[in-house]
Amino acid sequence: MPTFDVNKVPYGLEPILVEGANHAVASLRARRVSEIMLPEAPDGFLLNNKVRTFIQAHIRRCLTFIEGGLAEYHAGRPLITDQCSRAIYENVAAFHDFTEKLKPVLQGGDYQMIKDIIMQTAFATRVQEWIDQHGTEYQAVNIITQIKKLAKINPLYGDAFERLCDIVHPNGLGSIVYFAAIDETSGIARISDSGHDPEKAYASLVLAGVLLLRFEKDIGDLEPMLLAAREGFRPQTE
């Protein structure tokens, strides 16, 4: 059953966009596996399956935000839906940044650098105590930096992300504008528990689902490069 109803198109959503979001979600669900044996036979090569484990974690993260965002919309809490949409934008940008860093290193066959990128990205943090303990190389890249990289490809990406940020932060767009409607004629402020325009949050979630096509593409681009790096591996070089 499709995640999003193709007949539900608020805010002028094109059905092809709904179909694209459904395709992306279905593709990611199909990629899920429950376990991965890290060492590959016959020589115990680890790096590729470490990357695949990282991918599996991020697949689940994205699906959690899609499914959770949709559930919150149906529960009458569209503000949480908008938070989930923003999280998807961040996840897509962060994973794209990871793949762009990893691709040239895979092509170059520098296995130590491949290992470093995997470890530093998988365990990246903004918690200063952990950075002090493990080194500045584990400091997570600022998400805005990663968002800007994707915005160069599609400027609308950055604009939509900024709007979602303004909603989920305690600014006007996410508080008084979201929940209150003021009638200047009557002088009455009508306050809604679920926000005055939940369909906008639904449309934003669909568009976030479309962005998962980029995530799916990045995964697909990595796989043949992982296989090529595997073919060039010699045990003494890992």
Over residues 56-81, the pLDDT tens digits come to 999 999 999 999 999 999 999 999 99
Cα–Cα distance measured from residue 101 to residue 124, given in angstroms and rounded to the nearest whole number: 14
pLDDT exceeds cutoff 70 at 178: yes
Question: Six-digit token pair at 207?
Answer: 């568009």
% residues pLDDT > 90 (the chain) = 63
Q: Please give the model's pTM, rounded to 2 decimal places.
A: 0.91
Check if the beta carbon of residue 110 is closer than 8 Å to that of residue 88: no
Query: For residue 181, what pLDDT band results from cuts at 50, 70 and 90?
Result: confident
Domain boundaries in the chain? Answer: 10-158+197-237
Span 187-225, pLDDT tens digits: 898 898 888 899 999 999 999 999 999 999 999 999 999
Question: Does an H or E element contain 191, and which?
Answer: strand 188-191
| AA identity, residue 42 | P
